[in-house]
Structure formats: structure tokens, C-alpha cells
Amino acid sequence: MAATTREATEATLLRFLTAFKAHDLNAIVDLVSPDCVVDSMVAAGLSGRDGIRQLYAEWFQGFPDLAVHAQETLIEGDRAVAFLTTAGTDTGGFMGLPPTGRSFRLIGAVIITVADGQIVRYRSLYDFTGLLVQVGILKAKPV
């Protein structure tokens, strides 16, 4: 396996972000290696293509208007980080709960490692508790 170039990593990240914006679940899954390591707050125990499919199907179903905007990207060799602003409205129900009709907006990051044009490690970081508070699943005490 040859080393992944910065250009190849950037192209894979761009394809991933384009598919994410379009809610194209099949295109996202096609970018992931069969044994991809998935690390996300809502993806405990998930891996590979099935894990990514389950993760994004949950998000797209729960937030049909889910929108993402890459604020900044950093790329070094086979790794890339995209700092994202993500927003949506809980009209489809999330995590098995009924929809709240409330919206959220959060800032987070997606970190990928690429080999042979596929994502072999996927990690997402964001304020999951803040998301649950914004959509009304959790209640927050005033400070």
C-alpha cells in the first residue's frame, strides 16, 4: 500500500463533505473501507460501512433538513480535519425518541484517515449534550 498523498486525502474529504451535504448515504458509505474504525458519540460499537450507514441514517432521518458547512480544513498526509457548523430541526425523531420540532446549531469536527482512496478511520467531535439540550431531549438548568 502506497502512502496517501495530501491531494488524495483532500479529494476524499471533499467527496465526503459533498455527499454529507447532499444526504447521499450511498456515496458516504462507498467512501468508507469495509473495516473502517468509527469513533463518534452516537456510534458506540459501530464499525465499517454498516456502522457509517447506521450513523448517518439516524442523523438524516432525525434531522431531514440537516445542513453542514465546512468552516476550515486541515490536511496533513493521510489525515484530514474539517471544522464544521451543523444545523437541523428534529422533525424525524432522534435516537428512538419522538420528534421535538426544535432546532439545533453546533460546531464540531470530523477527522478522517485515508488509505487507497477510502476512509479507514472516522472520528467526529461535537457537543452532543448541547445538541440534546437544544432540541429539547435534555433539560438544562439555568446558570
Give the per-residue pLDDT at 48.
85
Give the per-residue pLDDT at 1.
57
Give the per-residue pLDDT at 136.
92
Asked if 110 contacts 84 with a C-beta cutoff of 8 angstroms, the reply is: yes
Asked if 104 contacts 88 with a C-beta cutoff of 8 angstroms, the reply is: yes
Give the per-residue pLDDT at 70.
95
Residuewise pLDDT in 10s, the chain (143 residues): 567 899 999 999 999 999 999 999 999 999 999 999 888 877 667 788 988 898 899 999 999 999 999 999 999 999 999 999 999 999 998 888 899 999 999 999 999 999 999 999 999 999 989 999 999 988 877 66
Run of H or E residues at 74 = strand 67-76
Question: What are the residue boundaries of the structural domains of the chain, listed by start?
Answer: 6-134
Run of H or E residues at 27 = helix 25-30
Give the per-residue pLDDT at 4.
85
CATH topology for 6-134 is Nuclear Transport Factor 2; Chain: A, (3.10.450)
Q: What is the CA radius of gyration of the chain?
A: 15
Give the per-residue pLDDT at 22.
97
Residue closest to 56 by CA, chosen among 113, 15, 94: 94
